[in-house]
């Protein structure tokens, strides 16, 4: 394999592997910036993947699949929001409950609906080239011939960042995540804002899960394979900021892509070593070696109105 082919393949694979992490990470930022710890990213991504499979199989349409993916992941986010915001449950336990429910429910529904009939054909999403830009030597084909959802994920980073830190609604979310008592006293609806933020994380995870499914066009048990937990690590590593999540997602994606490249070059490297990298990097970040990371002050703390 030539050096140019290695670079092209590495960039393309990195972007592909980073896309669901970016979606999940943005969902985590929106939720946790409002004060709701979101351990359930893995389950939401998995439900989104199954939703796309079921919706696309039923309608024969990519847009039908995306609609069901977003709706089903948002429904799971609603469950988390009810447990965390309304019921005041421990948010770590609530998130893990959603993850376990997603794993069992998607498995059950797949077997119940498709187990005997066989896997139906599902429309995928091919690469969309950007005219002229996709002709740039070396990097053009890898950067500008991607899935539509990849473009959406990377464009969403500056959009979410601008909304969160530069708009009144975004600042309300930040206020609720830092000082819910003061936000409540100022007339902000703490419960409403937290509900909406968690639901927004469900929308993001629905798109991320749909992307995972479109890469193989077939559903399998627990097919997200820890992407949601890596996204959670990206949230921490990125200091709860969209741009930080993007950097972390690209870093994690690059390490996974490196493993594939080394295998294609005939070098045998333990796959588990690369799987551990996102978590090792997160530990380093939390330890303070790459700068100070600080969660929103009220993150994970149920708000009880006095």
Torsion of CA 290, 296, 301, 306, to 10 degrees: 160
pLDDT at 283: 73
- The set of residues, in sequence order, having a beta carbon less than 8 Å from that of 5 and lying 6+ positions away, is none
0.85 surpassed by pTM = yes
pLDDT at 286: 63
pLDDT at 176: 97
Phi then psi for residue 118, to 5 deg, are 90, 160
Q: Which two tokens stand for residue 183?
A: 């936000």
Q: What is the pLDDT tens value at each position of the chain, 306 positions in all? A: 566 677 778 888 999 999 999 999 999 999 999 999 999 999 999 999 999 999 999 999 999 999 999 999 999 999 999 999 999 999 999 999 999 999 999 999 999 998 866 778 898 888 888 888 778 877 787 888 899 999 999 999 999 999 999 999 999 999 999 999 999 999 999 999 999 999 999 999 999 999 999 999 999 999 998 999 999 989 998 999 999 999 999 988 888 888 777 766 666 667 677 667 767 776 776 666 555 678 899 999 999 887
Q: Are 44 and 73 in contact (CB under 8 A)?
A: yes
Q: If residue 129 lies in a helix (H) or strand (E), which one and from where to where? A: strand 127-129
How crowded is residue 59: how many other Cβ atoms within 10 Å of its Cβ?
14
What are the b/e assignments for 173-211, b being 16+ CB within 10 Å?
bbbbbbbbeebbeeebebbebbbbbbbbbbbbbbbbbbb
Q: Are 172 and 180 in contact (CB under 8 A)?
A: no
The C-alpha angle with vertex 205 and arms to 204 and 210, in degrees rounded to 5, equals: 105
Parse the chain into domains and list their residue ranges.
3-120+138-286
The CATH class given to the 3-120+138-286 domain equals: mainly alpha
Q: Is 34 helix (H, G, I), strand (E, B) or coil?
A: coil
């Amino acid at each position: 394999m030539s050096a140019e082919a290695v670079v092209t393949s590495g960039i393309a694979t990195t972007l592909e592997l980073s896309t669901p992490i970016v979606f999940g990470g943005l969902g985590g930022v929106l939720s946790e910036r409002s004060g709701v710890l979101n351990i359930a990213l893995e389950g939401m991504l998995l439900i989104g993947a199954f939703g796309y499979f079921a919706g696309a199989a039923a309608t024969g349409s990519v847009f039908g699949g995306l609609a069901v993916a977003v709706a089903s992941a948002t429904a799971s986010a609603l469950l988390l929001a009810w447990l965390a915001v309304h019921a005041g449950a421990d948010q770590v336990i609530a998130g893990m409950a959603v993850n376990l429910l997603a794993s069992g429910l998607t498995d059950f529904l797949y077997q119940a609906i498709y187990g005997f009939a066989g896997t139906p054909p599902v429309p995928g999403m091919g690469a969309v080239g950007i005219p002229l830009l996709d002709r740039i030597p070396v990097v053009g084909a890898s950067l500008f011939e991607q899935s539509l959802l990849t473009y959406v994920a990377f464009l969403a980073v500056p959009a979410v960042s601008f909304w969160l830190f530069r708009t009144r609604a975004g600042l309300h979310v930040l206020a609720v995540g830092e000082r819910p008592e003061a936000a409540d006293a100022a007339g902000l609806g703490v419960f409403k804002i937290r509900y909406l933020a968690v639901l927004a994380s469900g929308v993001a995870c629905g798109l991320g899960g749909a992307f995972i499914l479109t890469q193989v066009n077939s559903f399998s048990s627990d097919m997200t394979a820890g992407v949601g937990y890596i996204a959670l690590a990206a949230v921490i590593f990125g200091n709860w900021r969209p741009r930080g999540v993007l950097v972390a997602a690209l870093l994690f994606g690059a390490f996974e892509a490196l493993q594939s490249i080394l295998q294609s070059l005939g070098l045998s490297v333990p796959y588990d070593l690369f799987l551990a990298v996102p978590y090792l990097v997160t530990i380093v970040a939390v330890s303070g070696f790459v700068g100070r990371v600080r969660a929103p002050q009220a993150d994970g703390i149920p708000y009880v109105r006095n």
